[in-house]
Structure 1
Amino acid sequence: MLFAWTFISCFLQIPIILCSYRSSECLVKMNYRLKGKGNVVIVGFFPAFAVYPLNKTIDWWMLKFSKEVMIEFKLKSYQYILAMRFAIEEINSNPHLLPNTSLGFEINNVPHGQRYTLVKLFSSLSGSNYDIPNYISASESNSAAVLTGPSWTISECVGTLLDLYKFPQLTFGPFDSLLSEQRRFSSLYQVAPKDTFLTPGIVSLMLHFHWNWVGLFIIDDDKGAQTLSDLRNEMDKNGVCTAFVEMIPVIKGSFFTKSWKNHVQILESSSNVIIIYGDSDSLLSLIVNIKQKLLTWKVWVLISQWDVSKFDDYFMVDSLHGALIFSHHREEIPNFTDFMQKYNPSKYPEDTYLHVLWHMYFNCSFVKKDCKIVHNCLPNASLGFLPGNIFDMAMSEESYNVYNAVYAVAHSLHEMILNQVQFQTHEKGKKMVFFPWQLHPFLRERQLINQNGANEDLDCTRKSHVEYDILNFWNFPKGLGLNVKVGTFSPSAPKEQKLSISSNMIQWATGSTEIPQSVCSESCHPGFRKTHQEGRVACCFDCIPCPENEISNETDVDQCVKCPETHYANIEKIHCLQKTVTFLYYDDPLGKTLCFMSLGFSSLTAAVLVVFLKNRDTPIVKANNLALSYTLLITLMLCFLCPLLFIGRPSTASCILQQNIFGLLFTVALSTVLAKTITVVIAFKITSPGRIRRWLLISRAPNFIIPLCTLLQVFLSGIWLTTSPPFIDKDAHSEHGHIIIICNKGSAVAFHCNLGYLGALALVSYFMAFLSRNLPDTFNEAKFLAFSMLVFCSVWVTFLPVYHSTKGKNMVAMEVFSILASSTSLLGIIFAPKCYLILLRPERNSLSYIRDKTYAKSIKPS
């Protein structure tokens, strides 16, 4: 059995020391009770070592020392003993604190089980070698207070009994809200500060390094459950998600526990950061189970109650290297390190524990009878010679609390003496008899100051929320075991300054200087937004590009921001750029083309007018109603100039003139064509002579169609301008990156009524010309009028769907092109044949040609 346990210990690297039979027997038989004389004694209960039976059938209370047991040395707890002795020696050497009174101490190892803990307590309080319950000997016992810790279970067990006697108890372990219940533990004082801001500090660290995907190992007790609730609430508020949560059962004295069902899930988790809450003794099952189930290279975030050196013994080499530890801020205690360096068996021969350590580590000879070393020791050996992973020379947080607890008792005693509380007359060196409950008013009400000048308030309702030091555990090479301060968390500082950390000082487990990543999903870069993955937590998401004209200039945004109408999103969708203001201006290639076409056709129309003026006495000009021809040519010349109102930067005046001038000119042009067609029909279609036909021709009644139609158009335009006139508008959507200044029609109904009126005139003109297209006459233009109206109607019928399918300045260009095309159809089809005869066939434009042609037709045989 012994061989089996030795093999298991080596394989698991369990810190169980199978020391020699002689040295172990001394500790077990004496139960390690260390005493120091003084008028007033402070009793301390510390877990210095633990004894385990190799045969598990042995009952703990029947345990006797033999070769069937093994001892686990807890060297971190031994530092508590040194801190207590150091504080007492410091107080006794201070003439201003407790003059004429000396402090003594009694240190007891905490055995297994509540029964033996209470037995130790009875023995200490009764002041005798017999464990007598409910008995305190005034002649034997002069105890003032009891120190317990670091486990809250020991403090609870002892506190339940001490509260019956109102005996002061100071616990140096982590603050526990259960121990602060006044009804149950009215005589118990917690030296450690509250951990109210521990969870905000941990979450602030997560946010600082952009870790939002973390795993949790939490001790499965009331305090662990409360911490888990607080931690989850804080994480939810700040967008940090849990990859997994494992509640670890508290199992003491057992090295083999059942495996977790979810260890595969934990192994495969993408989380690279794991938070562990609990002390290393309580989470022993965690250490055993993850020994070879979790790989290293994880970032471990711990609390200061972890014995990191002990924890690392359970892992592979350097597994805890790079861990981040939250520890309460404390000032360095001067001379404490020197005290430990000089603490050796020759100076303190009464400490059996020290003799055993020297025998184990420095190969000293050991005398079983006296439980002391004798010779063959390493010269000038000290605790500082031990590796850092075995014994840490730096004062731990619990040792600091022990130091402050001793000073708290000393200051309370000092204050009690000054106020002449009921003390018996005593002399130096003699026992001081008093009632310990008399210390309570001074322990509660005063802020006590230790030798270092730090204030300590034992009233839990007034405890200040201290700062946290963030330590980085350096353990490469293995055994280095340094806790290096790399940052602080101060709850009282402004929000942006609460966390201060030097990332360049941190040594990561990966061995790289790059900060490890721990996210469920990679960050969404600017230009993208997050979209939630259904069925998963908020930290798991996909990244999709921002919609059109929306941007995101930060990482991991939930919604993209829409650019203002005056701006547009760049290609990367990370910035809104100012849109360029544009319109159909003259320097634009399209604007230039339309401008040249407008001026060119207008000049051509003017040239045709000149030709008609010069040849006004010729038959062809006279035959086609000279006045109407002049009117149509002048109107067409103005129609060709009308597009110039559409080109250039729009103004209020140009917007009003565009549609109204266009409608007015085309009304005159179409009504002129209608007058021409009616004149032709009257002249050739009415065969029987009469007064009406003669009167219509002589009085030129068809010419009155022009002013009548024009007046109707003016009326329509007046209604349009009165109700909803055109105005300047901006089109920010038609062309990417541009704001187009256009003329809004105002009333779409009025605009389409205008086009409908022009279309009606064109259709009537086409119908009248179509009826007279085959009338016999040499210079009959009815067929040309009919064809020009057909082309005119085709242009504007095509214009409507194309116009509504275009946007921005293309819509303006389309309207200008339609005006030019329809005007060109009238000019070309009606006047081009006439100009051809006038200029290129002048012989046909004569009366003799007409007579000869008429005569030839008359003599033609039938």
Structure 2
Amino acid sequence: MFSCIFISSLLLIAKFVLTFMHVNISKCFYKITEDFHHEGDVVIGAFFPLHTYYTKNKIPHSYLPYYYKDNYLQYNFKNYQYILALVFAIEEINDNPNLLPNISLGFDFYNVRFIEKDTLMNVCFWLTGQGQKNILPNYNCGKSNFATALTGTAWTTSAQIGTLLQLFKFPQLSFGPYDSILSDRGQYSSLYQMASKYTSISLGIVSLMVHFRWSWVGLILPDNHKGNKILSEFREDMERKGVCIAFVKMIPMTWNAYYNKFWENMDETNVIIIYGDIDSLTGLMRNIGQRLLTAKVWIMNTEPHITDYADYFMLDSFHGSLIFTHNYRKSFKISNFIQTVNPYKYPEDIYLPKLWHLFFKCSFSDVDCRLLANCQPNASLDVLPSHILDMVISEESNNIYNAVYAVAHSLHQMHLQEVQIKPHENGEAIAFFPWQLNIFLKDINERDNMSFGGRQKLNAEYDILNLWNLPKGLGQKVKIGSFSANAPEGQQLSLSEQMIQWAEGFSEMWINVSSVQRVIIQIQRRTTVYRKL
């Protein structure tokens, strides 16, 4: 099986290497707008992180405060899956005669750059309908058919946007990981989280430790309220199962300030758990990827979003990693839809022309940067490597899909209620204020046991994936097991060990540190503490 994947991946490598050799990056590739729109009777605002700007030397701009001269544009095409999930859900609903009949859904997309000022500015552009023109607070000078806002992935982004939308009781659906701060109804009464708050991931990971008799492991967590909460859960589960913690490293958002201290004591164990959302651990993941580490097994709850993988076969730092992901009983099937997506079908999309230019040798027209020529025949998103655009649906994309259905069902119920009170004339457009949707969305977190459009209960079930590295980043995520907290004791963990590809140089004999070795390490630590005192 592995050899088949390897051979097919080598063929893909040749194709993409030739593509990069012949592509001269056009100036159109670096021309970017912060938004694009798809018309509909009712519009959803989508605030997704797809591109950002970074600076290397922080050279101040001559007349623009808080800006730098050496700004560089960076695309995160992996997150383009969010737009695909959004468009797919909207088209499904628009084609369904039994859901929102005679009413079409559309969307306004705005990029999120992790800078609070820019994020709030885009929200203001959207609310006022002014685009990049002058903003008139509390006035909408354009269309007024907004329904709700989709925000994420970071909880900080949803919190920033929620602070503004809360002023108008404007409904907001967060598609990122569940966060207890966002559940504060006093502060965010109109914010609803699509992710389940119930998790058994610490129990699942610790069960994996017990299965392989890994009794000495490291923990890497974000230095925030979520990291502190999961740390207490890991401590409790590990103590109960007899697993010892070699070290705990809490990673701050400002990774550069912590960089030098991080690698201290990392050689105490070769099994390390990394828990956190990708936004809070981006710097860490990138640094691990750049160091070309081997002989370590990383157990994670999220896949690292790194596009510059090592070219060395089987020597990627994350090769052999084990990833716990939520298992969806019934996920939406998007593969056929993805094969039909192209810049000509969706001319308003600002990212598709850039993907086609970069990977399919298309040339931009001198007249319009969205017009393409001389493209490879049969170009399709589904042939891109997984580190560029993954075809396996992520938890965030699943949440976006379910969020669109939640909005559609709420609009449908509200429309039926209005028709019963006051029948609409044929062809009369639906008219409402966004805050009216809150009554239909307020119990969304209690509907886990129901089929809510595409929404399905997570039921504390996880798939366990093994990350296989291949040259040029053409890796594979292979399901090698599962964990179900609701299964009987002794049957919760299921593994196909023969399918696991371990990290190069990894040895289970080194991992199973004896009790004598652990005592020696603990004595050394105490001696160091006494010396400091």
Range of TM-score over shorter length:
0.7 to 0.9
- TM-score normalised per structure 1: 0.53
Corresponding position of 1:241: 244
- TM-score normalised per structure 2: 0.84
Identity of aligned residues (%): 46
Corresponding position of 1:79: 81
Corresponding position of 1:43: 45
1:23, 1:368 within 8 Å by CA — same for their partners in 2?
no
2:217, 2:246 within 8 Å by CA — same for their partners in 1?
yes
1:149, 1:172 within 8 Å by CA — same for their partners in 2?
yes
Which one scores higher on RCO, CA 8 angstroms, separation ≥ 6? 2
- CA 1:144–1:292: 2 relative to 1, 3 Å: closer
- CA 1:60–1:360: 2 relative to 1, 3 Å: farther
Corresponding position of 1:740: none
Displacement of 1:510: 3.2
2:513 is aligned, of 520, 523, 531, to 520
- CA 1:139–1:443: 2 relative to 1, 3 Å: same
Displacement of 1:243: 1.3
1:352, 1:371 within 8 Å by CA — same for their partners in 2?
no
**Higher Cα radius of gyration:** 1
Corresponding position of 2:456: 455
Corresponding position of 1:231: 234
2:223 is aligned, of 202, 220, 224, to 220
Distance in 1 (alpha carbons) for counterparts of 2:422 and 2:214? 59
Displacement of 1:175: 0.8
Distance in 2 (alpha carbons) for counterparts of 1:439 and 1:324? 41
Distance in 2 (alpha carbons) for counterparts of 1:426 and 1:114? 44
Displacement of 1:425: 4.9
Corresponding position of 2:492: 498
Displacement of 1:375: 1.0
Distance in 2 (alpha carbons) for counterparts of 1:233 and 1:60? 54
Distance in 1 (alpha carbons) for counterparts of 2:469 and 2:134? 46
1:387, 1:480 within 8 Å by CA — same for their partners in 2?
yes
- CA 1:272–1:311: 2 relative to 1, 3 Å: farther
Corresponding position of 2:469: 475
2:78, 2:387 within 8 Å by CA — same for their partners in 1?
no
1:150 is aligned, of 148, 153, 156, to 153
1:364, 1:377 within 8 Å by CA — same for their partners in 2?
yes
Corresponding position of 2:101: 99
- 1:200 and 2:200 correspond: no
Corresponding position of 2:58: 56
Distance in 2 (alpha carbons) for counterparts of 1:103 and 1:402? 14
Q: Which amino acid aligns with 1:238?
A: K
1:473, 1:481 within 8 Å by CA — same for their partners in 2?
yes
State the Cα deviation string for residues 650-689 of structure 1 (Å, max 9, x = none).
xxxxxxxxxxxxxxxxxxxxxxxxxxxxxxxxxxxxxxxx
Displacement of 1:186: 1.2
State the Cα deviation string for residues 246-298 of structure 1 (Å, max 9, x = none).
1111138xxx55533362421x32x1211111233422332454456673121
Q: Which amino acid aligns with 1:38?
A: G
State the Cα deviation string for residues 101-148 of structure 1 (Å, max 9, x = none).
111111111134111111111111122334536424386221111000
2:319, 2:503 within 8 Å by CA — same for their partners in 1?
yes
Displacement of 1:480: 3.1
- CA 1:531–1:209: 2 relative to 1, 3 Å: closer
Corresponding position of 2:167: 164
How many residues align? The count is 494
* SS of structure 2 residue aligned to 1:496: coil
Corresponding position of 2:17: none
Corresponding position of 1:536: 522
1:19, 1:71 within 8 Å by CA — same for their partners in 2?
no
- CA 1:207–1:497: 2 relative to 1, 3 Å: same
Distance in 1 (alpha carbons) for counterparts of 2:517 and 2:355? 61
Corresponding position of 1:780: none
Displacement of 1:381: 0.7
- CA 1:411–1:135: 2 relative to 1, 3 Å: same
- 1:23 and 2:29 correspond: yes
Distance in 2 (alpha carbons) for counterparts of 1:108 and 1:472? 34
Corresponding position of 2:265: 265
Displacement of 1:94: 0.5
1:257, 1:285 within 8 Å by CA — same for their partners in 2?
no
State the Cα deviation string for residues 696-751 of structure 1 (Å, max 9, x = none).
xxxxxxxxxxxxxxxxxxxxxxxxxxxxxxxxxxxxxxxxxxxxxxxxxxxxxxxx
* SS of structure 2 residue aligned to 1:35: strand
- CA 1:100–1:246: 2 relative to 1, 3 Å: same
Give the alignment of 1:59-138 within 5 angstroms: 62=64, 68-129=70-131, 130=133, 132=135, 134-137=137-140
* SS of structure 2 residue aligned to 1:352: coil
* SS of structure 1 residue aligned to 2:413: helix
Displacement of 1:68: 4.3
Distance in 2 (alpha carbons) for counterparts of 1:60 and 1:282? 32
Give the alignment of 1:376-775 within 5 angstroms: 376-420=374-418, 425=424, 428=427, 432-445=430-443, 447=447, 449=451, 452=454, 454-455=455-456, 465-477=459-471, 479-510=473-504, 518-521=511-514, 533=519, 536=522
- CA 1:294–1:274: 2 relative to 1, 3 Å: farther
* SS of structure 2 residue aligned to 1:147: strand
Unmatched segments (≥5 aa) in structure 2: 1-22, 524-533
Distance in 1 (alpha carbons) for counterparts of 2:344 and 2:310? 31
Distance in 2 (alpha carbons) for counterparts of 1:18 and 1:291? 27
Distance in 2 (alpha carbons) for counterparts of 1:437 and 1:119? 21
Distance in 2 (alpha carbons) for counterparts of 1:386 and 1:261? 37
Higher helix fraction (1 or 2): 1
Distance in 1 (alpha carbons) for counterparts of 2:63 and 2:489? 55
1:46, 1:108 within 8 Å by CA — same for their partners in 2?
yes
1:146, 1:168 within 8 Å by CA — same for their partners in 2?
yes
* SS of structure 2 residue aligned to 1:536: helix
Unmatched segments (≥5 aa) in structure 1: 1-16, 457-463, 523-529, 538-862
Distance in 1 (alpha carbons) for counterparts of 2:286 and 2:25? 23
Give the alignment of 1:273-352 within 5 angstroms: 273-287=271-285, 289-290=287-288, 295-304=293-302, 306-310=303-307, 312=309, 317-331=315-329, 333-352=331-350
